[in-house]
Structure 1
Amino acid sequence: MEDSASLKFEDWPNAVAFVPYVGSRYLEGFGGCRVLLLGESHYRKDGWTDDPGLTRPFTRKTFGDMETCERVGGGRFFDELDRLLTGNRTPALSDAAQAWERVAFCNLSQRFAGTAAGHRPSASDFKDGGKILLDAILPILQPEVILVLGRTAWRMFADGERAEQPIFHARHVNSEGRRRRYLEERHVWAPDQGNGVAWMSWVYHPSWNVDRWEDRAAALRHLLECPHDKPMA
């Protein structure tokens, strides 16, 4: 990636139904690395279709005010991502905004999942989205760290190979989670993006009451601490 010109909206391939949100200072890095937060799917209102005129700008419209101090949206998911990025339970809005300047976000599925959070993408949605992620999104973003926000998306994407990096241990999985045998150990993988070293791991979906915010924040910092001494293409 030569400069931020390659991140302009109109330069993204047509295969990318939801153009990723890219912070204004993404290329400068977050904690020294280019960071991609990879979610699962977007939801639509009744009557909305997968027309590119609606989907292409959707992610950027949804996340576009995250790096400002005048947000028009909100909700638990966004609050948890603020905590993840800042490592603070009650971050100042200015601190969260500065963090969002330095990261990118996209969802694995390139189709609307439905009209409510309980609706789930199909396996083919994740499979097709994974191919688009590898072929069209990662070559442009060239992330060095990818944190997957949801075990389902992680299992469906699972590209590359397990890396010889320390396992991340989520030490605050709630008590209900332990009875239900939620996983505390999260392996680090190296996705096959063909242009350099990237480290990838996962957390349970931020909307779930499984991981605490401390674990999600620690997972990101665990990936940032993996060695990034090989140059990106």
Structure 2
Amino acid sequence: MMLIRTCVLACLVGAAAFAASLDADMAGALDNSVDSDSLVISIKQIRPRKRQRLETETLLSVSTRSSGVSFSVKLDRGNKKIVFETQKEKKHLDVESLADTRMINSLVLVLDQRKPATEVQVYLDCILEGKLHLDFNLLHLFKKDPKFIVLRERRYIMELDSETSVQEILKRLKCDPHDQMLSQNTGEDEEEEDNLRTRESRGDIPIFHDCDDNLLVKTINKLIGVVNRLQEELEAQRTETNNLRQLLEQCDICKPGEGY
């Protein structure tokens, strides 16, 4: 009992460091689904902090009640990285489109646990930004103590799904069908690149290098996604400018030659 109280107290102190709070519902959902082949964590409406800080922002932290094993997901806007961390390892995915002032409408993390090393796919605003392989399996990491303490930012909407396709999640998030197609094509390109690297490792198969069409298509798809986001941001700024102009036109004090 004393050990549990100490662990909870430590988690509360850690929560104060990144303005998070305990989430019993998320902990229960994780208890029920951690042994699934795949887990999907979706986070919506990640607003930039009003005060710019240099440290990373912890979106989610999961720990066990007795063993103290932990897993966390962090957002590093300054270095344009999404970080995955345990006590034994720290890995990150570079996301060039991640900016200090950018509003993230959705962040989807797909954890594939069918292999000894968990594979994580990262979708930012409906676009597949990439994937990485962790040195652990989340199921194996927590199987000895499947009673979780979950800390997370309450400012964001967070959901956990298991055995659900990523396309279904993207559809629920109301992603544009074109963006979903880009994500699917990009995922297929990365899978093909993995297969190519596997074939290149075999010395009995000659490889003739030519123009990398897959890389070209992937780059064009990402460029289209960036242009679409820029258009949305430009439209939002245009709307704000029009609203401000209307307010100024209706302001009697602001008119030349009137007021004081």
TM over 0.5: no
- Larger RCO: 1 or 2 (CA < 8 Å, sep 6+): 1
Structure richer in strand, relative to its length: 2
